Structure 1
């Protein structure tokens, strides 16, 4: 090879290496920050743009300037939703089909599951959890800092008092990483979480993207809020609990605004994606409302699982800003969406995913690839009567389950007792009792989102098709991991944990 040609080839090679290096550096430095905000036990109705009497101006504005997700689903309880967020997998794969994990059970998010936080770490992100965990605490391996979070500031169980940060028997449940935090007694939790988020933003490493899960307890019970937030609703909302609930939402809304302003003040807002979601339907017994959807937290009717959700970011394409997306999206989709779509990383190494990368659907308005969604199969909740007309079913219709295919939704194991609950001050047919009847229910949720017209008897062939799908999912499911309760072993005032909830067992 002539010398000049060899020199040219060498220079070309160097240029390729340099360009590749620049490209990789640019790709890393340009990875968007992700602020993933979760409200707890918030009803579908309980946000301004869904018609609530109380106002949520910050969230309304963020949603109005972004993309509202109006065909978006979570789970019926806290733990299953958080598990699906963290793993991108249906809860039937993890044994979390039945409910929440209690602090005195020897169970947590299975340790072989690769979490969203771990994948974001791999992608080069700093990872932070602020607020509620609720994925198990019985041993150290279950704790957030051992599941992919660089920092943790919050609590481990399902709920605590907002000011004292303890549980009804006086045991503390408030941590910074692995260290109990006694000094915050008297400080309101929503304020603390907001301040922590702002502090992390103010001190962010400029060379590293950030993934923050801002996991609020509000407006979950106990209903507590500084009076300054509930007082403006004294002449609007008569019920004391509902007024307190409104104040809790107002405080969280204010905090989300302050976090957004911190992003702007630090010059990173333009490269940040803000995602907001609820974790399950609202409990009407704690002054939350899902009107006009049917039922409440714990149910597989729409009021228990259709979530409030929106995405806000300057990185969204102009054609989707200010729009509503009716594409089918599920909480399990966030892991591949964040890891592959936003971080530009790979989901290799996880267990097989049920979630789908929805970033192009959200960012550009493209059609979702999701046409099917398993809401749940709970083998521990089984009706003893009903379903005789489906005796030839491939799936035991007495089991509480629900599945979605296109616009069609099938429920089994629910005789329809749950009805519709209108919030105070809203005119409508508030019918606390539903259409009690057959335990197999089919709805076209696009035409009938309130689930008032059961079409199972009219479309029996479609029902059979969906029952076969449920049967296949049931064969793939694992046994529920909910264990017996061990109150004496777990009691932190009796097991040497100095009245602080935390790991209490070493064995599996």
Structure 2
């Protein structure tokens, strides 16, 4: 398919009706990388389309502008869904909406976006930066919430599987299609969140546990942005269900026999809520250093308030070993240089790729068979867990973990919660 350079908002479908002109006998992959909710330059950070400012119930003026930008983004996506329906291909289409990272709540280029109740903002290792909202829709799916661990690299093999294809390449991504479609356990049990040699910080998740190490300080690592939650007493927010019911997407779905039920909508919304375990002050939060990091059970404690570093030394040792192994294989990050050819002014003021990158070659390790061995007795600390709400999660039973230069032998008990 030819690449179409789009403007902000939903203008692409006025300038280039790619869906309407698509040859229905061939598959279509369409990616829309919206810039609509992003901050602009310092003097005009938030730039919604010209229109009366809505969302009067929001007290903060910049937050109202941001809400208007997101509303226009939502309307633009509605036009995409309508175009797919008008073309007659909606029922054979998979629609994915996903954020690339958490909001920059603080800093020079803040857009007043919120990551609460999660901790941290964009460009930090905390959940507020790396745990993002997403949904996937297909006409055959029943509404539900899937909370499996997933990484952005998983989209490629997952979508290939959905199309009945697979890749023989040795890639990082995991095929999650069957897990998502059938509401099964994720095929992924770990994620390297970040290893930054210049900022001297790193984070890694294995099962339910996440380790954060390095030099991380300042307000960006807190639960930021509570001032943006303030509302005006004299104004009521719009009714959520009425807003959804009157959207383009709802009208299209009704044409396809899918009628929204108010109780179902609110029930689904309630199931996606994540609350803080308690109202601790940010001053009490664990702050990692190069000498001592932080360990969290992000299944039971997704807001990263309760440090387990001293309580679970075996889990700390395991996660540090894997993180160190990944770091030993990493190419150090070089200082950033500004390429003037990337200036958005060259592309109708849109951020977009400006260079062609050659494909990477797979490297081989000559010392693949030369590994040290580390034995850990973790019989008292499983990376699976049961929270206080009684919900079992990962039952990750490692026997031999061959990664990098270390063979790690771990003795895990079978999870009493899952019986596996």
Distance 1:404 1:329 in 2: 11
Unaligned runs of 5+ in 1: 1-125, 127-149, 155-187, 383-399
Select the residue among 246, 254, 264 that pairs with 2:75: 254
Select the residue among 276, 295, 298 that pairs with 2:123: 298
Select the residue among 379, 383, 408 that pairs with 2:209: 408
Answer 1 or 2: which has greater helix percent: 1
Listed as ranges, the matches of 1:9-24 within 5 Å are: none
Answer 1 or 2: which has greater strand percent: 1
TM-score, with structure 2 as normaliser: 0.64
Q: Does 1:343 align with 2:193?
A: no
| Aligned position for 1:231 | 53
Q: CA deviation at 1:436?
A: 5.4
Q: Deviations over 1:36-58 (max 9, x none)?
A: xxxxxxxxxxxxxxxxxxxxxxx
Select the residue among 30, 34, 44 that pairs with 1:216: 34
Q: Does 1:206 align with 2:21?
A: no
Q: Does 1:284 align with 2:136?
A: no
Listed as ranges, the matches of 1:460-479 within 5 Å are: 460-479=313-332
Listed as ranges, the matches of 1:14-413 within 5 Å are: 126=1, 150-154=2-6, 189-195=8-14, 199-222=17-40, 223-228=46-51, 231-234=53-56, 236-285=57-106, 286-316=111-141, 321-339=142-160, 341-348=161-168, 350=169, 352-382=170-200, 400-413=201-214
Q: CA deviation at 1:326?
A: 1.1
Moved over 3 A (4+): 193-197, 414-417, 426-434, 481-487, 489-493, 496-507
Distance 2:60 2:317 in 1: 46
Distance 1:304 1:470 in 2: 19
Going from structure 1 to structure 2, the CA distance change for 1:492 and 1:462 (only over 3 Å counts) comes to: closer
Q: CA deviation at 1:241?
A: 1.0
Tell me, yes or no, if the aligned pair for 1:193 and 1:214 is still in contact at 8 Å.
no
Q: Deviations over 1:53-102 (max 9, x none)?
A: xxxxxxxxxxxxxxxxxxxxxxxxxxxxxxxxxxxxxxxxxxxxxxxxxx
Tell me, yes or no, if the aligned pair for 1:419 and 1:434 is still in contact at 8 Å.
no
**1:403 counterpart SS class:** strand
Q: Does 1:447 align with 2:300?
A: yes
Tell me, yes or no, if the aligned pair for 2:216 and 2:287 is still in contact at 8 Å.
yes
Q: CA deviation at 1:483?
A: 4.8
In the alignment of these two chains, the number of paired residues is 296
Going from structure 1 to structure 2, the CA distance change for 1:196 and 1:378 (only over 3 Å counts) comes to: farther
Distance 2:28 2:189 in 1: 32
TM-score, with structure 1 as normaliser: 0.53
Distance 1:502 1:315 in 2: 35
| Aligned position for 1:66 | none
| Aligned position for 1:23 | none
Q: Deviations over 1:448-507 (max 9, x none)?
A: 1110011111111110110110111112222325554455x87899xx999999969999
Q: Deviations over 1:105-132 (max 9, x none)?
A: xxxxxxxxxxxxxxxxxxxxx3xxxxxx
Greater RCO, CA 8 A, separation 6+: 1
Distance 1:151 1:498 in 2: 16
Distance 1:301 1:276 in 2: 22
Distance 1:233 1:477 in 2: 46
CA RMSD of aligned residues (A): 3.3
